[in-house]
Amino acid sequence: MDLKYFIESQQVDHLLLYEIFELADRIRQRPFAFAESLKGKVLATLFYEPSTRTRLSFESAMLKLGGQVVSTENAKEFSSAVKGESIEDTARIVSAYADAIVIRHYLDGAAKKAAEASSVPVINAGDGKGQHPTQALLDVYTIYREFGSLCNLKIALVGDLASGRTVRSLCYLLGKVGKNIEFIFVSPQHLKMGQDIKDYLTKHEISFREEEDLSKVLPIADVIYMTRIQKERMSLEEYEQAKGKYVLNMENLGLVRAGARIMHPLPHVEELDFPFDVEQKDLRIAYFREAANGLYVRMALLQMMLKERE
């Protein structure tokens, strides 16, 4: 498999998906076997939008494979972007210094532009309202690990489905690699899942429906994928209407099936409200395991994209 860039979750098919999962599992079991794997290689992380979690997990992944990292924490303010340089030129030049680039950008399509100009592999770590394909990958990996397969699942996506790029990437990916998946979109009227995703699912004969009442969904969903209302991507009025509408807490946790899993791309705010000890003990709460999975999925991806190109 030759993955030269990873921009959209649709790029991943069955074969590639299980190749990544199998490698992620192997790295998790025998990390020392991979500790020098990317020795001498340098990864550049270019973040035009804040994201400690994603950036640190990519950087740690690279370091734990024996590679090195050069990094810019807020490229928007501190880089040549302020001098008016195009994303293509930045990518072209950075690809002379680094063996791979991870980019997060505030504009849709920025990662694709970077990939086209770069001479080294480029990974999209989130582009505007576009995609966040490694998040989708770790989400699907989490579902796979928690349920043992990607078949016969009811997946409720809850919250801000209009601006959330993680739910978009997840639909694309799970729609493609899952079997007999049903999506239930739970959102306020003004933050509904976009028509492009619905068309995509229809085209691929994946069933979905919309539901406004969360309490109707909790007893039947296998996966409850909560999301944060993204204040920074809407008007204050829209935010006030959506805020607090969908919350999981000790009250409605009782409605959730025994074998179900509560997921969240994190960071969360008020939409999740559990005490620490419940988060530690209740197996249905999967979001910290989900976050931890990110490290292994990203290690697998970097290993594949960098090692195989030697």
**Which residues does the annotation mark as catalytic?**
53-54, 83, 104, 132
Q: Does 228 bind a copy of itself (CB under 8 A)?
A: yes
State how far the Cα of 99 lies from the Cα of 52, in Å rounded to an integer: 22
Minimum distance of a copy of itself from residue 179's CB (angstroms): 30
Q: Does 247 bind a copy of itself (CB under 8 A)?
A: no
Q: Does 282 bind a copy of itself (CB under 8 A)?
A: no
Q: Does 77 bind a copy of itself (CB under 8 A)?
A: yes
Q: Which of 2, 83, 203, 275 binds a copy of itself (CB under 8 A)?
A: 83
Strands (E), the chain: 5-6, 42-47, 68-72, 100-105, 122-127, 151-158, 179-186, 207-211, 223-226, 248-249, 261-263, 272-273
Q: Which of 9, 72, 134, 135 binds a copy of itself (CB under 8 A)?
A: 72
Number of neighbouring beta carbons within 10 Å of residue 102: 30
Q: Does 255 bind a copy of itself (CB under 8 A)?
A: no
Subset of residues 89 to 108 that bind a copy of itself, contact rule: CB under 8 A: 89-90, 92-94, 96-98
CA angle 133, 161, 115 (to 5 degrees): 25
Count each helix (H run) and each strand (E run) in the chain, helices first.
13, 12
Minimum distance of a copy of itself from residue 271's CB (angstroms): 11
Cβ neighbours for 99, distance < 8 A, ≥ 6 positions apart:
41, 42, 43, 67, 120, 121, 306
Q: Which amino acid is at 178?
A: G
State how far the Cα of 241 lies from the Cα of 212, in Å rounded to an integer: 13
Q: Does 69 bind a copy of itself (CB under 8 A)?
A: yes
Q: Does 88 bind a copy of itself (CB under 8 A)?
A: yes
CA angle 152, 135, 174 (to 5 degrees): 25
Owner of token pair 């004969």: 205
Q: Which of 266, 284, 307, 309 binds a copy of itself (CB under 8 A)?
A: 266
Residue 79 CA neighbour count, 13 Å, CB half: 21
Closest to a copy of itself by CB, 10 or 230: 230
Minimum distance of a copy of itself from residue 66's CB (angstroms): 8
Residues 117-156: x where in contact with a copy of itself by CB under 8 A, - otherwise, as a string: x---------------------------------------
In 3-state terms, what secondary structure has residue 262? strand
| Number of amino acids touching a copy of itself (CB under 8 A) | 58
Strand partners, 209: 184
Instruction: State the residues that interact with a copy of itself by CB under 8 A.
Output: 31-32, 35, 39-40, 42, 44, 46, 50-53, 55-57, 59-60, 63-64, 68-75, 77-80, 82-85, 88-90, 92-94, 96-98, 117, 228, 231-232, 266-269, 276, 288, 291-292, 294-295
